[in-house]
Amino acid sequence: MAEAEESPGDPGTASSRPLFAGLSDISISQDIPVEGEITIPMKSRIREFDSSTLNESVRNTIMRDLKAVGKKFMHVLYPRKSNTLLRDWDLWGPLILCVTLALMLQRDSVDSEKDGGPQFAEVFVIVWFGAVTITLNSKLLGGNISFFQSLCVLGYCILPLTVALLICRLVLLADPGPVNFMVRLFVVIVMFAWSIVASTAFLADSQPPNRRALAVYPVFLFYFVISWMILTFTPQ
Amino acid sequence: MTTTAAPAGGARNGAGPEWGGFEENIQGGGSAVIDMENMDDTSGSSFEDMGELHQRLREEEVDADAADAAAAEEEDGEFLGMKGFKGQLSRQVADQMWQAGKRQASRAFSLYANIDILRPYFDVEPVQVRSRLLESMIPIKMVNFPQKIAGELYGPLMLVFTLVAILLHGMKTSDTIIREGTLMGTAIGTCFGYWLGVSSFIYFLAYLCNAQITMLQMLALLGYGLFGHCIVLFITYNIHLHALFYLFWLLVGGLSTLRMVAVLVSRTVGPTQRLLLCGTLAALHMLFLLYLHFAYHKVVEGILDTLEGPNIPPIQRVPRDIPAVLAAARLPTTILNATAKAVAVTLQSH
């Protein structure tokens, strides 16, 4: 090797070495890959764009989304530790549930016209801002779940409470009394527990193990508020 | 390597950077292919090319002023032999201005809207939260040197939300109808308003009285002080006894207030300042508990009456005027309305 022959101990030769003397030693090593990407200008690229889901019929799109929502409903009703809700999250289910809940919690008496509006907005705001707050809290506690995944799980786990609301409305068709109230209380408590178990089954894995209680408590408060709204609902 | 590196503002003689002009495609991407059909045929001077190159070298800086490009162009008179970019220069400059602006905006956004700013305040373990909750009820007598306040926000935030839930529970128990629309807003506004507002106010007073406390510590202190409120309200919204409430108000409310007062006293110097600060905090804290109980007291009493008396809704509702439709049934509406009102008045007098 040329460098070895030129002794570094010789001070004179280092400065008097002719320019480019070391160039003969330089070679491009073979293991540096020379590669790149030739991008074609935009105009022709647009024509190639694959509109994969844009061309299908509306019915296909709706059925596909409904099937996804239905599958997730099944996962909520029979909670097992699975990743379906987390992996392909979507917000259709939470929206449907939230709108159903809000519509049914409206009092349908003509007298309280101005209460009909705020009822709907109240439920909507509680559900969505509550879910956002819980998500932020779980992220700040060190959870590794994304924002929309958490919104998706919390929204889908409102399903048992919506079922409870339907049952309560049916029960309220009978004559009011303490038995009526006890039945409704029992149903709401069971569904409340079901919601918490379902959401914990999905969310627990994303939290550090020693802080699960800290992350579950706001979920408990959230579903408690919704359950309370359902329990104290009396159609006039 | 210094011989081949070109200085930023000077003339260029090497073969490297100016051929970079080919790198930037007309379409603004990093394509190596130049789409000839889009090239502007207006031949301009090559001064603009120099301006472009100067711009690219200054990409690390935020400055994307077009005037600088123009000034830089005039400095150089070297002919590079590339024509046809004049029409694209304005687009290139606009593109670079946009990118520089976007970079700056995303930098600012990631700096200020990052929730990681709050992350250290949520770094708690459940054991710590539980011990802090219990300690918030135990006043410490040691006031000679500053007592430690844990600067975290998880506990206080959860306590405020719990207080909101308890308030809702209390309000819903009364089954209010007319005020239904603003229940949630009222509860959230009251609790958060108290927590944030009184903390800020006491922090301001502490600043005046030269007390050693930061805003975060004040928020945490007051937040944990709400634990006593939660307990009292939870019990007394379910058991409606006046004497019980007053007992709990003095005992539990007093304990948590004493704890906060002791912490503040340990951090303040001077009797007047101590009195001012601690007196204000004690008054506000105790009065808030009183307010929370009595704001819904009347409605709660209404419930007790309805459980014992006839079946009247707790909020007196004005009876509706019977619509004129019934006039078709040949019933005078005025008489019907008067009758309905009389019935309502009779019921109300019970």
Q: For residue B312, give Cα distances in angstroms to A60, A220, B347.
A: 54, 34, 8
> How high is the pLDDT of residue B14?
45
Please determine, for residue B245, whether its predicted confidence score (pLDDT) is greater than 60: yes
Residues A138/A144/A146/A152 CA torsion (nearest 10 deg): -60
Residue, of B330 and A202, whose pLDDT is higher: A202
Residue, of B204 and B328, whose pLDDT is higher: B204
> How high is the pLDDT of residue B131?
93
Average pLDDT, chain B: 74
Residue, of A139 and B73, whose pLDDT is higher: A139
Which one, of B149, B128, B132, lies nearest residue B227 by Cα? B132
> How high is the pLDDT of residue A42?
59
Whole-angstrom distance, CA of residue B206 vs CA of residue B276: 9
> How high is the pLDDT of residue B322?
57
The region that residue B5 occupies, defined by phi over 0 for left and psi between -120 and 50 for alpha, beta otherwise, is beta
A19-28, A98-107, B27-36, B131-140: range with lowest mean pLDDT: B27-36
Q: What is the average per-residue pLDDT within B77-100?
A: 73
The shortest CB-CB distance from A39 to any of B31, B124, B172 is to B31
A113 touches chain B (CB under 8 A): no
Residue in B with minimal Cα distance to A116: B181
Q: What is the 3-state secondary structure (H, E, C) of chain B?
A: CCCCCCCCCCCCCCCCHHHHHHCCCCCCCCCCCCCHHHCCCCCCCCHHHHHHHHHHHHHHCCCCCHHHHHHHHHHCCCCCCCCCCHHHHHHHHHHHHHHHHHHHHHHHHHHHCCHHHCHHHHCCCHHHHHHHHHHCCCCCCCCCCCCCCCCCCHHHHHHHHHHHHHHHHHHHHCCCCHHHHHHHHHHHHHHHHHHHHHHHHHHHHHHHCCCCCCHHHHHHHHHHHHHHHHHHHHHHCCCCCHHHHHHHHHHHHHHHHHHHHHHHHHCCCCHHHHHHHHHHHHHHHHHHHHHHHHCCHHHHHHHHHHHHCCCCCCCCCCCCCCCHHHHHHCCCHHHHHHHHHHHHHHHHCC
The minimum CA-CA distance between A131 and chain B, rounded to whole Å, is 13
Work out the pLDDT band at A202, boundaries 50, 70, 90: confident
Which one, of B45, B61, B56, lies nearest residue B21 by Cα? B56
> How high is the pLDDT of residue B274?
93
Q: What is the average per-residue pLDDT within B202-218?
A: 93
Complex ipTM over 0.95: no
Which one, of B145, B287, B162, B140, lies nearest residue B223 by Cα? B162
A176-180, B258-262, B332-336: range with lowest mean pLDDT: B332-336
Q: Which two tokens stand for residue A111?
A: 């007298």
Residue, of A154 and B185, whose pLDDT is higher: A154
Q: Which two tokens stand for residue B13?
A: 């003689």
Beta carbons of A39 and B30 less than 8 Å apart = yes
Most confident range, picked from A92-106, B60-74, B102-116, B176-190: A92-106
Q: Could you tell me how far CA B115 lies from the centroid of its own chain?
A: 11
Percentage of residues in chain B with pLDDT exceeding 90? 32
Please determine, for residue B76, whether its predicted confidence score (pLDDT) is greater than 70: no
Chain B residue numbers with beta carbons less than 8 Å from the beta carbon of A210 are 125-126
- What's the pLDDT tens digit per position in A190-201? 999 999 998 888
Whole-angstrom distance, CA of residue A36 vs CA of residue B304: 81
Q: Which residues contact A215 (CB under 8 A, 6 or more apart)?
A: A137, A138, A141, A143, A203, A207
Backbone angles phi, psi at A20, to 5 degrees: 65, 20
Q: Which residues contact B188 (CB under 8 A, 6 or more apart)?
A: B164
Beta carbons of A39 and B115 less than 8 Å apart = no
Q: What is the average per-residue pLDDT within B306-318?
A: 55
Please determine, for residue B47, whether its predicted confidence score (pLDDT) is greater than 60: no
Q: Which two tokens stand for residue B283?
A: 């008054």
> How high is the pLDDT of residue A235?
72
Whole-angstrom distance, CA of residue B165 vs CA of residue A221: 7
C-beta neighbour count of B55 within 10 angstroms: 24
**H helix or E strand, kind and range, residue A117:** helix A113-140
Which residue in this structure is represented by tokens 């308030």?
Answer: B167
Q: Which site among A19, A42, A108 would you substitute to test the B interface, given the most B Cβ atoms closer than 10 Å to its Cβ?
A: A42
Chain B residue numbers with beta carbons less than 8 Å from the beta carbon of A39 are 29-33
Q: What is the average per-residue pLDDT within B324-350?
A: 55
Q: Which site among B88, B128, B168 would you substitute to test the A interface, given the most A Cβ atoms closer than 10 Å to its Cβ?
A: B168
Q: Which two tokens stand for residue B190?
A: 């009251």
Please determine, for residue B328, whether its predicted confidence score (pLDDT) is greater than 80: no
Chain A residue numbers with beta carbons less than 8 Å from the beta carbon of B157 are 137
Q: What is the average per-residue pLDDT within A16-22?
A: 68
The total number of residues shown for chain B amounts to 350
Please determine, for residue A114, whether its predicted confidence score (pLDDT) is greater than 70: no
Beta carbons of A119 and B181 less than 8 Å apart = yes
CB A136, CB B114: distance < 8 Å:
no
Chain B residue numbers with beta carbons less than 8 Å from the beta carbon of A192 are none
> How high is the pLDDT of residue B302?
55
> How high is the pLDDT of residue B5?
43
- What's the pLDDT tens digit per position in A135-159? 888 888 887 888 888 889 899 999 9
- What's the pLDDT tens digit per position in A45-82? 444 445 677 788 888 888 988 898 888 888 888 877 67
Kindly state the DSSP code that residue A108 receives in the 8-state scheme: -
Which residue in this structure is represented by tokens 């068709």?
Answer: A173
A29 touches chain B (CB under 8 A): no
Chain A residue numbers with beta carbons less than 8 Å from the beta carbon of B175 are 232, 234
Q: Which residues contact B233 (CB under 8 A, 6 or more apart)?
A: B163, B166, B167, B170, B289, B292, B293
CB B205, CB B280: distance < 8 Å:
yes
Q: What is the average per-residue pLDDT within B26-53?
A: 54
Please determine, for residue B56, whether its predicted confidence score (pLDDT) is greater than 50: yes
Which one, of A163, A171, A186, A14, lies nearest residue A76 by Cα? A163
CA atoms within 13 A on the CB side of B116: 4
Q: For residue B26, give Cα distances in angstroms to A45, B33, B112, B305.
A: 15, 9, 35, 82
> How high is the pLDDT of residue B192?
94
Residue, of B222 and B64, whose pLDDT is higher: B222
Please determine, for residue B174, whether its predicted confidence score (pLDDT) is greater than 90: no
Work out the pLDDT band at B32, boundaries 50, 70, 90: low
A102-111, A119-128, B199-208: range with lowest mean pLDDT: A102-111
Work out the pLDDT band at B185, boundaries 50, 70, 90: confident
- What's the pLDDT tens digit per position in B11-23? 444 444 555 455 4
Handedness of CA A145, A151, A152, A154 (dihedral sign): positive
> How high is the pLDDT of residue B91?
87
Q: Which two tokens stand for residue A222?
A: 């959230």
Residue in B with minimal Cα distance to A209: B125
A100 touches chain B (CB under 8 A): no
